């Protein structure tokens, strides 16, 4: 059985005080959520303070990115995986569509970042997904397959099992336009089948594939009923403890 993951991506929001206040408010609201793993991804500056506040709780802390390098060195502005671990994180988001679109994170960079995360024992949450033009042209599966092939290049099946994938159609992020559970299920099933073909059946059946893009308390239950959706990566609706806790505590 795949344990679902509900992850909140706070993007470039919240000063340290606000991040700690939100984490503090969230703690009791999700304390009984044993049905899933709960993850929040504050900005770099708040990671340590949030992780300290959540110590001993069932909430895991994730970074939103990491350096592709595994050795400390002259890489101004970059944050190494062991620094992220040192701040109290267990997870790291890699290849979010905003990083791909705005900061040059190609599939090759994503591949190096996945390796760096695995090297340091961090769980990578690897984002993939097509744009609206690509979907309208009938190329959604082809685009996702290419992202997977290049992002997961030369990884072994046992490494792939340690990854979490997040299918986030770019047209659904921050737009209020969620993929229907059927659209999402179709792509998740495609991804799982692709993993089975390229790696093995165990990797495919164990791999957790999250859906992301305008997930809200109102649509999480329908999404979670789909056979191949193993959780959600939530942006906007994760910023408030109350709404994120309603997503974590979805009816199932």
Q: Tell me whether residue 30 or residue 41 sits nearer to ligand PGA (CB atom).
A: 41
9 contacts: CB under 8 Å, gap ≥ 6? 41, 64, 93, 96, 212, 233, 234, 235, 238
Examine residue 235 and tell whether it contacts ligand PGA (CB under 6 A): yes
Q: Which of 125, 164, 201, 243 is nearest to 3 (CA)?
A: 164
Among the candidate windows 111-119, 182-190, 219-227, 228-236, which touches ligand PGA by CB under 6 A?
Answer: 228-236
Structure tokens at 127: 């984002």
Would you tell me how many other CB atoms lie within 10 Å of the CB of residue 33? 17
Which one from 96, 98, 130, 134 is the annotated catalytic residue?
96
Minimal distance, residue 250 CB to ligand PGA, in Å: 15
Examine residue 214 and tell whether it contacts ligand PGA (CB under 6 A): yes
Q: How far apart are CA 216 and CA 250, in angstroms?
A: 10
Beta-ladder partners of 232: 6, 211
Long-range contacts of 16-19 (CB under 8 A, 24+ apart): 16/45, 16/46, 16/49, 19/43, 19/46, 19/49, 19/50
Examine residue 105 and tell whether it contacts ligand PGA (CB under 6 A): no
Minimal distance, residue 211 CB to ligand PGA, in Å: 10
Examine residue 64 and tell whether it contacts ligand PGA (CB under 6 A): no
72 is catalytic: no
Chain positions 143 to 172 lying near ligand PGA, rule: CB under 6 A, are 168
Among the candidate windows 20-28, 115-123, 137-145, 210-218, which touches ligand PGA by CB under 6 A?
Answer: 210-218
Helix (H) or strand (E) holding 126: strand 123-128
Please pick, from the candidates 15, 136, 174, 193, the single residue that binds ligand PGA as defined by CB under 6 A: 174
168 is catalytic: yes
Binding site for ligand PGA (CB under 6 A): 9, 168, 173-174, 212-215, 233-237
Catalytic center residues: 96, 168
């Amino acid at each position: 059985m795949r344990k679902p993951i509900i992850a909140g991506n706070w993007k470039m929001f919240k000063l340290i005080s606000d991040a700690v206040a939100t984490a503090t408010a969230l703690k009791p609201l999700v304390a009984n959520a044993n049905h899933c793993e709960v993850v929040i991804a504050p900005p770099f500056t708040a990671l340590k303070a949030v992780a300290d506040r959540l110590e001993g709780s069932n909430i895991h802390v994730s970074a939103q990115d990491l350096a592709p390098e595994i050795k400390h060195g002259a890489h101004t502005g970059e944050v190494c995986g062991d620094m992220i671990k040192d701040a109290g994180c267990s997870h790291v988001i890699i290849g979010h569509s905003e990083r791909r679109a705005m900061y040059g994170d190609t599939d090759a960079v994503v591949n190096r970042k996945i390796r760096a995360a695995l090297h340091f024992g961090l769980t990578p949450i690897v984002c993939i997904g097509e744009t609206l033009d690509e979907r309208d042209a009938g190329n959604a599966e082809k685009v996702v397959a290419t992202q997977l092939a290049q992002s997961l290049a030369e990884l072994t099946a046992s490494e792939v099992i340690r990854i979490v994938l997040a299918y986030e159609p770019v047209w659904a992020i921050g737009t209020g336009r969620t993929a229907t559970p059927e659209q999402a299920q179709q792509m998740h099933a495609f991804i799982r089948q692709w993993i089975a073909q390229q790696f093995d059946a165990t990797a495919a059946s164990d791999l957790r594939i999250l859906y992301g893009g305008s997930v809200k308390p109102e649509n999480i239950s329908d999404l979670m009923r789909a056979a191949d959706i193993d959780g959600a990566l939530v942006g906007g609706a994760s910023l408030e403890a109350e709404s994120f806790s309603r997503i974590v505590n979805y009816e199932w």
